[in-house]
Chain A
Amino acid sequence: KAGVTQTPRYLIKTRGQQVTLSCSPISGHRSVSWYQQTPGQGLQFLFEYFSETQRNKGNFPGRFSGRQFSNSRSEMNVSTLELGDSALYLCASSLRQGTGELFFGEGSRLTVL
């Protein structure tokens, strides 16, 4: 069974640009969440989606947005990039809504110059 797939794996952007990251969950998983990982702040929760609806949102500015499609695939978007947005963005999927094991992808590493 294929794991969580994130694309692109690496990308470089400049300040002010926007970026869209994609996540394909494990087949059959309907819940997707996103985390930002940085050396200074660690792993921080961004969003949680289930059945195309955002169920939870972390404490991030409105420049961070996301969505989930009917096939459970998810995208997140960051607009007006800032240097501090440089991070590893991790997507995780799980079989159902609610607390339980998260299956993480390998992440998309974003560098903002």
Chain B
Amino acid sequence: DAGVIQSPRHEVTEMGQEVTLRCKPISGHNSLFWYRQTMMRGLELLIYFNNNVPIDDSGMPEDRFSAKMPNASFSTLKIQPSEPRDSAVYFCASRIAGPSGETQYFGPGTRLLVL
């Protein structure tokens, strides 16, 4: 099992540019989570999908952020336009939906730097 796959692993861009982060969840998992991690705020849940449907996007910072899950094996998180304060590590995690006992499995993260 390859685990959760994220790309790119590192992204450096200039303020105002569009950034697209990609995630491939573990095969068979039907819940997908996007997190953001910074030194100041720790891990923050941005959005959660269940069976490709967004269930809770209350953690999305603002309209500049959008996420899609067109099918069970792929999700994107887009930032447009990007700002320096968006610099962080973005993690994607997946799990099998059910009682909250199921463990989330995290990808390696995308380290984003917005100049």
Do A and B assemble together?
Answer: no
Q: Interface on B for A, CB 8 Å cutoff?
A: none
